A and B are shown apart, each in its own frame.
Chain A
Amino acid sequence: MNEELIVSGRNIPGVDPYLTLWHWQIPLYLFLGGLAAGLIFFASLYVIMGKEDKAPTAVKWASFITPVALVIGLGALFLDLRHKLFFWRLYTTIRLESPMSWGAWTLMLVTPFSIIWSASYLRELVPSWDWKYKWLYTFEGWVIRNRRPFAWVMIVLATILGIYTGILLSAFNARPLWNTSILGPLFLTSGLSTGAATIMWLSKDHEEKMLFGRIDLLLITIEIFFIVHMFMGFLASTEVQQEAASLFLGGEFTVPFWGFVMILGLLVPAFLEVLEWKGYRIPAAVPAFLVLFGGLMFRFIMLEAGQITRYLY
């Protein structure tokens, strides 16, 4: 037996001095999870308000993207696991104090529900679609009759999913950049914004496009507010938090963050949405793409930067 004596408490490869455990899988998943949360949120919201015909894309057509985003996101999470075959162990316990447990269970519910949601609209999209079995038709009928309660369940799950993508990071109290409770609402807002942008992009109905352009504009404004406050919080906090913020205020993440997330991913699409609101013709694909790109970049940058911030020096 080779005995190993660790004299220093800091010999933790991959964790100290820098966390180097998370790669592209996690930010991709956080992005897709946020996007799915946004899409489900708006679909449910318009069903609950009884205004399905005002937002047909949000309720019906965009819902087909949700399960795809979730499945790809979950696939990325699975790839990230060191011991892939033990993933089921997450489902042998419920831990209210663990964001991962919250996330695992929420995903466990939200993924099949989102498949059922979109499947219940499949025959509207493809009228010749045949469910083959009678019980599937019966089930479809039951889902259609219970859309409103179903939407209530979904909107709660979507909110948890959206917040959890941020809380997952903020629960790491050893990483000053992540250890701020503003990440929950910030990631939720960003996820809702990417969802609204996707609906705006997909919609063929002018009114709906304009509606979601305005919703997205509001969400972008809130997101910028949260980002500014996040930095104000860091700068008013301890030295490690100030160091974390300095990565974005002159440090190595300054250009990617302010250039690609703030300007290209938030301010430019917001400006284009204002122009669209004012009546100028803007192809919805452009602001929508920028919002999605900004959302993805934001998660990659937060993840990379967060891993190199630390308390111990």
Chain B
Amino acid sequence: MENGGTRTPDPNKYMNPYLAGVLLGLVLIAAFYFSGRGPGASGGPKRVTAAVVEAVAPQHAHHSEFYGKYVNGPHSPLKDWLNFELLGVLVGGFISGALSGRLKLRVEHSPGITSRKRLLWALIGGILFEYGATMARGCTSGAALSGITVLATGGFVTMLAIFGGGYLFAYFFRKLWI
């Protein structure tokens, strides 16, 4: 079988958002079916942090109320479904990028700012988000999506708070995007 030339899908052609939304919903149900838990994101880095703290300062990790929850169990905090799920997200994202012709090493940012600025702000935003998600006991996926799937009140509140907060503060950071 010979390859008949390269296949280059249009990188600007995205999936229909309604179809993507339904598929995402099915992903949530599949996650509950296969792992007995909804998907999450922020919990992954949290466990990695706990594992790093345990490696660097085991005494502190084991006595700390926060890290203790993760490091005093029978397994390493890294042996958690969220970490494997995140690994799967990376692999799946890569394959999806390849299939839609968007596989390119680049930093997506507004033409008004530099890549460096974008990365710096993304880092700050990421830290704040992880902090907020930890206080709220979950992020957009772990609390909002997974919560709403099981009709938990906390899920709806988190969703409203994240998107409401986003709308409230977007004005102040608009220069990073437009």
Q: Which A positions have Cβ atoms within 8 angstroms of B? A: 210, 255, 259, 264, 268, 271-272, 275, 277-283, 286
Q: Is the CB of B103 within 8 A of A271?
A: no
Q: Is the CB of A259 within 8 A of B84?
A: yes
Interface residue B87 (Cβ < 8 Å from any Cβ of A): yes
Residue of A nearest to B88 (CB): A263
Interface residue B4 (Cβ < 8 Å from any Cβ of A): yes
Main secondary structure of the interface of A (DSSP, over half): helix
* In the bound complex, CA of A271 to CA of B95 (Å): 9
By a CB distance below 8 angstroms, the chain B residues around A277 are 3
The smallest beta-carbon distance between B94 and chain A, in angstroms, is 7
Q: Given contacts A264-B91, A272-B98, A275-B95, are A281 and B3 in contact (CB under 8 A)?
A: no
Known contacts A259-B87, A281-B101, A281-B103; 4 additional CB pairs below 8 A are A277-B3, A279-B4, A281-B98, A282-B98
Q: In residues 1-34 of chain B, which contact A (Cβ within 8 Å)?
A: 3-8
Residue of B nearest to A260 (CB): B87
Q: In residues 124-151 of chain B, which contact A (Cβ within 8 Å)?
A: none
A sample of 28 cross-chain residue pairs with beta-carbon separation below 8 angstroms, ordered by A number, consists of A255-B79, A255-B84, A264-B87, A264-B91, A268-B91, A271-B95, A272-B94, A272-B95, A272-B98, A275-B98, A275-B99, A277-B3, A278-B3, A279-B3, A279-B5, A279-B6, A279-B7, A280-B6, A280-B98, A280-B99, A281-B6, A281-B8, A281-B98, A281-B103, A282-B98, A282-B103, A283-B103, A286-B94
By a CB distance below 8 angstroms, the chain B residues around A210 are 3
Residue of A nearest to B94 (CB): A286
Residue of A nearest to B101 (CB): A281
A-B interface, 7 closest residue pairs, ranked by CB to CB distance from nearest: A279-B7, A279-B6, A280-B98, A280-B7, A282-B98, A275-B98, A268-B91
Residue of A nearest to B5 (CB): A279
By a CB distance below 8 angstroms, the chain B residues around A275 are 95, 98-99
Q: Which B positions have Cβ atoms within 8 angstroms of A? A: 3-8, 79, 84, 87, 91, 94-95, 98-99, 101, 103
* In the bound complex, CA of A124 to CA of B155 (Å): 65
Residue of A nearest to B103 (CB): A281
By a CB distance below 8 angstroms, the chain B residues around A286 are 94
* In the bound complex, CA of A172 to CA of B97 (Å): 46
Residue of B nearest to A275 (CB): B98
Most interface-central of B4, B95, B99, B101 (chain A CB within 10 A): B95
By a CB distance below 8 angstroms, the chain B residues around A255 are 79, 84
The smallest beta-carbon distance between B110 and chain A, in angstroms, is 26
By a CB distance below 8 angstroms, the chain A residues around B99 are 275, 280
By a CB distance below 8 angstroms, the chain A residues around B79 are 255
The smallest beta-carbon distance between A300 and chain B, in angstroms, is 16
* In the bound complex, CA of A268 to CA of B94 (Å): 10
* In the bound complex, CA of A280 to CA of B8 (Å): 7
* In the bound complex, CA of A277 to CA of B2 (Å): 9
* In the bound complex, CA of A254 to CA of B94 (Å): 25
The smallest beta-carbon distance between A291 and chain B, in angstroms, is 14
* In the bound complex, CA of A259 to CA of B5 (Å): 33
Residue of A nearest to B1 (CB): A277
* In the bound complex, CA of A93 to CA of B22 (Å): 69
The smallest beta-carbon distance between B128 and chain A, in angstroms, is 31
* In the bound complex, CA of A170 to CA of B95 (Å): 37
The smallest beta-carbon distance between B155 and chain A, in angstroms, is 29
The smallest beta-carbon distance between B151 and chain A, in angstroms, is 32
Residue of B nearest to A267 (CB): B91
Residue of A nearest to B105 (CB): A283
* In the bound complex, CA of A259 to CA of B84 (Å): 8
* In the bound complex, CA of A277 to CA of B7 (Å): 10
* In the bound complex, CA of A177 to CA of B167 (Å): 59
Q: Is the CB of B91 within 8 A of A278?
A: no
The smallest beta-carbon distance between A289 and chain B, in angstroms, is 12
Q: Is the CB of B7 within 8 A of A278?
A: yes
The smallest beta-carbon distance between B39 and chain A, in angstroms, is 17
